Structure 1
Amino acid sequence: MAKRPALGKGIGALLSSASHEGGRKYFLCPIEELKPHSRQPRKTFDDGKMAELVASIREKGVIQPLVVRQLGDHYQIIAGERRWRAAQKAGLREIPVVIQDVSEDWALEVALIENIQREDLNPIEEAEAYRNLIESFDLSQEEVAKRVGKDRSTVANALRLLRLPDVVREDVLANRMSMGHARALLSLEEEEDLLEARQQVVHKHLSVRETEALVKRIKSIVAGGRPKAKETSPDPQLVHLAGELKRALGTQVKIIPRGKGGKIEISYFNPTDLDRLLEVLKIS
């Protein structure tokens, strides 16, 4: 069995090795016959950079061929999905490709590492790509780091982001907060504290330094003990229900009893956040 090459010198090493083993074929492929890899880590594409690439392709065409493999009646993109998307927007009907006769595992590994080595990959997408490599190929963090040519600490710090609540990961994906914001929030042990801090970060557009200061204040309050209610203690059942709603919705929720009834307050910070809540609640 052929030994897999190390990838620290770039994705070209893997593709070059694959070309010797499986053969290559260049041709112009109808754009509708191409499909992205289903486990492609990149889910978001910067609109500004995409527009620049579309303009470049309209003027000069696609200079670097996509790397693909044939699957039945279509071709699966191994490397070059962004160029494929831009070519569609530019109105191209055909695009140059290189066919590689490689296995599914080989194709997945190339697709993951090709994206990890891009500078503009979102931190959450990068973390998910590392996790995919670990789970798909039974690798350690150290082995992943060697494959992608990065320090083990870089891989470890990225993977920590996957411990964030879904709503915070969505914030990072949507560029509402950076990796620096997310790493600061991760130091809060209680999810309730983390979600409350997240509210302030998003609503007040806090910088990373301001977020770190906020986290420090919250940790100081927690260390000193939370203040007790001045009057009657809240109903434990309502406190529990409010916590469950907060975790489910990813935002601040208050249940305020009044007589035999009461009200539920759900916070949101902007129209996008409201749309997210409506989607969670399945309200159209």
Structure 2
Amino acid sequence: MVLPKIASKFSSAVQKTEQEQKIAELQIEIERLRTAQSPELENELQKLREQLQNQSGEVQVDLNLIDPNPNQPRQTIIPELIQAKARLLKKHGQISAVILVRQSNGRYILLDGQLRTEGAKLLGWSTIRAVIVAMPNDLDQSALLTFLGFEDLNPLDKAEAVFKEVMKSANLSMDEVSTMLGTVIKRISKELAKLMAVSVDEQQQGLELLEITGKEQSLLLVLLELGLNPSSVKANLMPMLYLPQDLKQVIRQHGLKGAHALALATLSAKALDISENQAVSERIAATDEVLKKNLTVTETRELVRKIKVKYLKSNEQELKEVKIIFQKVNGISGDLLKKASSKQLHEMRSLFQQKLQEIDKAIATSK
């Protein structure tokens, strides 16, 4: 496989008016290589930095003048990652991995190098080596920031970043995105994958042929331009936004994978027929086991299945016992009652009245 030259592609994107398609193509390649953990990707990103360095020159930037990128998709940086980067910087220096910044009103917006910047601050550095990136007026800034910011994101940060971009670009609310995406994918799921490999103009023409227009078209075009398959976004990214808070926290703090989180999320109060507090306790215990034993997705799903079986069997047993009681009570016929003594009838009525009170209490508690 021949890796496309990322630096040259980026250069073309900066210089031409077809930058959206260039960056979209680049993003697809980066996402694919990130998934494959390809060392070639880091080599190409380094070439990109070197090209920008040759164009703009390298400078020492005051760390106090660097502001975080407000559109940074990465919302999660755990202290361990910063400490690890700080150790590398202390041992080896910054080597050649300069950060990328954009000048703004006498200060700098960080585009690439968040961990290096935080590590340098932790070490007490006053400056850091950087390349100032020019931002021409015709370059889609949002696409550039997406490209620079999507490196190695956890699934929750990626989902939040993607849908933030989608809502802004397509001018839709999250509820509209969710409803619209689900509806349109049902109609054209098979055709969407084919549109991934064509140009923006061809994507638009293809959607129009499929009678996808208006807001639906805008929504799908944004996702396609980001190099994302809408069907995959619906199945894998959107559920990240609706995960229970305990699972979101573990993703951010302990690196729980998206597929593992989705499996664990099915341990809900409704699915197990238990209280919300009990469900949270079950998820936390299961999540701890997944992390400690480094379980695969398949092993995690098997763990979840066993937990569900435990609760389902308990519920089934209770239902069988109640069913037996129903059968016995229903078996009390009028003829049988006529044959019973007055004492037995009074005792039975007293017992039934007592049990009815207990049933009423159980019903009130379960509400």
Q: TM-score, normalised by structure 2?
A: 0.51
**Partner residue in 2 for 1:73:** 106
Residues 197, 214 of structure 1: 8 Å contact kept: no
Q: Name the count of aligned residue pairs.
A: 233
Structure 1 CA distance for aligned equivalents of residues 220 and 306 of structure 2? 31
Is 2:142 the counterpart of 1:127?
Answer: no
**Partner residue in 1 for 2:148:** 114
Structure 2 CA distance for aligned equivalents of residues 176 and 9 of structure 1? 24
One-letter amino acid of the counterpart of residue 203, structure 1: A
Residues 240, 262 of structure 2: 8 Å contact kept: yes
Residues 101, 130 of structure 2: 8 Å contact kept: yes
**1:152-171 equivalences in 2 (<5 Å):** 153=232, 156-171=235-250
- Structure 1 unmatched runs, 5+: 241-284
Residues 176, 202 of structure 1: 8 Å contact kept: no
Structure 2 CA distance for aligned equivalents of residues 225 and 142 of structure 1? 52
**Partner residue in 1 for 2:348:** none
Cα deviation code 1:130-186 (max 9, x no counterpart)? 212322333646853663577952673122111223343223222285433421144
Structure 1 residue 40: deviation in Å? 1.8
Structure 1 CA distance for aligned equivalents of residues 302 and 283 of structure 2? 8
Q: TM-score, normalised by structure 1?
A: 0.63
**Partner residue in 1 for 2:345:** none
Structure 1 CA distance for aligned equivalents of residues 118 and 74 of structure 2? 12
Structure 1 CA distance for aligned equivalents of residues 120 and 106 of structure 2? 21
Structure 2 CA distance for aligned equivalents of residues 218 and 133 of structure 1? 42
**Partner residue in 2 for 1:44:** 76
Structure 1 CA distance for aligned equivalents of residues 127 and 361 of structure 2? 66
**1:87-236 equivalences in 2 (<5 Å):** 87-102=120-135, 106-118=140-152, 121-138=153-170, 140=219, 144=223, 147-148=226-227, 153=232, 156-175=235-254, 177-187=256-266, 193=272, 195=276, 196-203=278-285, 205-207=288-290, 208-209=300-301, 211-214=303-306, 216-217=308-309, 220=312, 231-234=358-361
Structure 1 CA distance for aligned equivalents of residues 270 and 106 of structure 2? 48
Structure 1 residue 88: deviation in Å? 0.9
Task: Identify, as 1 or 2, the structure richer in helix.
Answer: 2
Structure 2 CA distance for aligned equivalents of residues 209 and 82 of structure 1? 33
Secondary structure of 1:9's match?
Answer: helix
Structure 1 111/215 Cα, relative in aligned 2: closer, same or farther at 3 Å?
farther
Structure 1 112/191 Cα, relative in aligned 2: closer, same or farther at 3 Å?
farther
Structure 1 residue 43: deviation in Å? 2.6
Structure 1 149/66 Cα, relative in aligned 2: closer, same or farther at 3 Å?
farther
Structure 1 CA distance for aligned equivalents of residues 219 and 317 of structure 2? 39
Percent identity (aligned): 18
Structure 2 CA distance for aligned equivalents of residues 33 and 132 of structure 1? 27
Structure 1 residue 76: deviation in Å? 0.8
Structure 2 CA distance for aligned equivalents of residues 192 and 234 of structure 1? 24
**Partner residue in 1 for 2:64:** 32
Residues 101, 111 of structure 2: 8 Å contact kept: yes
Structure 1 residue 73: deviation in Å? 2.8
One-letter amino acid of the counterpart of residue 163, structure 1: Y
Structure 2 CA distance for aligned equivalents of residues 30 and 134 of structure 1? 34
Cα deviation code 1:254-283 (max 9, x no counterpart)? xxxxxxxxxxxxxxxxxxxxxxxxxxxxxx
Structure 1 CA distance for aligned equivalents of residues 78 and 160 of structure 2? 18
